[in-house]
Amino acid sequence: MTRVKSADLENEKAVRELLALGDRFYGDLGWWPAESPFEVVVGAVLTQNTAWRNVEKALDNLKKENALHPDILLGMHYGRLQRLIRPSGFYRAKRKTLLSLSRFFAERPFSEIENIATEDLRADLLRLKGVGQETADSILLYALGRKVFVVDSYTNRIFQRHGMIGEGASYSHVKALVERALRADHKTYNRFHAHIVETAKNHCGKADMDCRECPYRDHKRKRRA
């Protein structure tokens, strides 16, 4: 038996409050700029520890070559692929990951993927080298519309500053917190994560903070020392 701690309930309440504040401030940010599910997949890989600005350069390069398709990437010479994605950094590792994912999606039509349970699909994605928890969940949520919350460094930073998690909180801990708190559909997880990313970029930098116009500024909580 797992005993429910009152601190957990408070943190779940805090999650709901942040979502409400974000809804009031932003409304529904239809999110993840991409024209196709596979573009989301590629973006999810390219954005690993990389500024989105640099990911856009790489995506633009791929778009100009009409290369945002599994079969095109699979047929491309590795040097050429690396050159196109170079602006997003870690280009040798990302090239391999993109090819693994291209193979994965080339082998399975979306009609087949629809019939795979989310947990099984997640496990399949995590077997690919270069696909970790956040990348897998980003693909599940933003490319495939699965009911999954994506945890990233922005989520951790904001939750830490609101005293909802400690510094060393694990990915699974934070994800479980949000999913327990909201028990929502994929659109809600999408919207909430979009709020978090916008807020982190515009008001909650790592070294510098500007809380004056933060959508979450009215949510004051005790901060740990």
Partner DNA sequence: CACCAGGTTGACC
Partner DNA sequence: GGTCAACATGGT
Q: How many CB atoms lie within 10 A of CB 175?
A: 19
Q: Does residue number 15 form part of the binding site for DNA (CB under 7 A)?
A: no
Task: Kindly tell me which residue out of 16, 37, 106, 133 binds DNA, with binding defined by CB under 7 A.
Answer: 133
- Among residues 37, 132, 145, 163, which is the contact residue for DNA, using CB under 7 A? 132
Candidates 15-23, 67-75, 151-159, 212-220: pick the segment binding DNA (CB under 7 A).
Answer: 151-159
| Three-class DSSP category at 90 | coil
Q: Give the x/- contact pattern for DNA in 79-118, rule: CB under 7 A.
A: -------xx-xxxxx-------------------------
Which x/- pattern, by CB under 7 A, does the window 42-61 give for DNA? --x--xxxxxxxx--x----
For residue 182, what are its two tokens?
């909201």
Answer positive or negative: Cα dihedral of 35, 36, 42, 48. positive
- Give dist(CA 33, CA 196) in Å, integer: 16
SS (H, E, C) 173-221: HHHHHHHHHHCCCHHHHHHHHHHHHHHHHHHECCCCECCCCCCCCCCCC
Nearer to DNA, 14 or 44 (CB): 44
Q: Which residues in the 178-197 window bind DNA by CB under 7 A?
A: 197
Choice between 33 and 75, CB closer to DNA: 33
Q: Which is nearer to DNA, 34 or 182 (CB)?
A: 34
What is the smallest separation between the CB atom of 4 and DNA, expressed in angstroms?
Answer: 19
Residues in the chain: 225
Cα separation, 171 vs 47, in Å, equals 18
Residue labelled with tokens 């990302």: 94
Which residues contribute to the site for DNA (CB under 7 A)? 32-33, 44, 47-54, 57, 86-87, 89-93, 128-136, 138, 142, 150, 152-154, 168, 170, 172, 197, 200-201, 205-207
